[in-house]
Structure 1
Amino acid sequence: MTELSSKNIKQLKKESHDLNPIFQVGKNGVTDNFIEQINDVLEKRELIKISVLQNCLEDKDDIAQEVSEATGSNVVSIIGNTIILYRESTTNKQIELS
């Protein structure tokens, strides 16, 4: 996991604006299968949004930290109940950070 500069974070926020959340975290919280699916999608897309539902018992900051550590990704931002994650793809690089 590489550190993102403020310039990179700004760029990623801009690129994530039109994205819809791909995953939802509900009352079951974060599971191994959930992490596995996020890993697969991060490799394909690099930038994803995760929605934290109202019935989730865990704190959204804790979820972001847990998913980030488990997937080796960076938390770009947490806006409301939406977490934005970024991880550079090894095989399908789409986003060029300046």
Structure 2
Amino acid sequence: MLTLTITHRRELKAQAHALNPVVMIGKTGLSPSVIAELDRGLLSHELIKIKAQIDDRIARNVLFEEICQQLGAAPVQHIGKIFIIYRPKPEEIEKKPTHTIHRKKREAFRAKRSFQN
């Protein structure tokens, strides 16, 4: 599980304020498909908001810690049934080729007077 500084956590809270929940966890809790969806959300967004439909406060705390532990994410904020987690994007393993395709330069347009001579 990642740890964040107080200033970084404050910045992430401000960014997450406008976000909508990406994943909603039902009363059945975590399943492999929910974990996979959370992982996909973190890969594409880095910072996601999750909504849990569990009424028990202690169970929500355990769920929040378990999500962060399984995904290797940092807990940002937990207010009621809303969780905010953060995981930076992994470095690109496959680099794009550095060579580029060189295109033939287009010839300049000929002016009207160049046709008259």
**Which category of TM-score, normalised to the shorter sequence, fits these structures?**
0.7 to 0.9
* Equivalent AA in structure 2 for residue 84 of structure 1: I
- Where 2:77 maps in the other structure, the secondary structure is strand
> Structure 2: how far apart are the matches of 1:38 and 1:80?
19
Partner of 1:72: 72
> Structure 2: how far apart are the matches of 1:38 and 1:54?
17
Partner of 1:4: 4
Partner of 2:17: 17
Query: Which has more radius of gyration?
Result: 2
Equivalent pairs counted in the alignment come to 92
Distance change (3 Å), C-alpha of 1:34 and 1:56: farther
Which structure ranks higher in relative contact order (CA pairs < 8 Å, sequence separation ≥ 6)? 1
- Where 1:68 maps in the other structure, the secondary structure is helix
Residue-by-residue CA offset, 1:28-79 (whole Å, 9 max, x unaligned): 1001111111111101100001101146797111111111011110110101
Q: Aligned-pair distance for 1:2?
A: 3.1
Contact 1:26–1:56 (Cα < 8 Å) also in 2:
no
> Structure 2: how far apart are the matches of 1:86 and 1:23?
14
Structure 2 unaligned spans of 5+: 93-117
Partner of 1:31: 31
Q: TM-score, normalised by structure 1?
A: 0.84
> Structure 1: how far apart are the matches of 2:90 and 2:54?
34
> Structure 2: how far apart are the matches of 1:42 and 1:56?
26
> Structure 1: how far apart are the matches of 2:25 and 2:56?
7
Q: TM-score, normalised by structure 2?
A: 0.71
Partner of 2:83: 83
Contact 1:26–1:52 (Cα < 8 Å) also in 2:
yes
Contact 2:23–2:37 (Cα < 8 Å) also in 1:
no
Partner of 1:43: 43
Structure 1 unaligned spans of 5+: 93-98
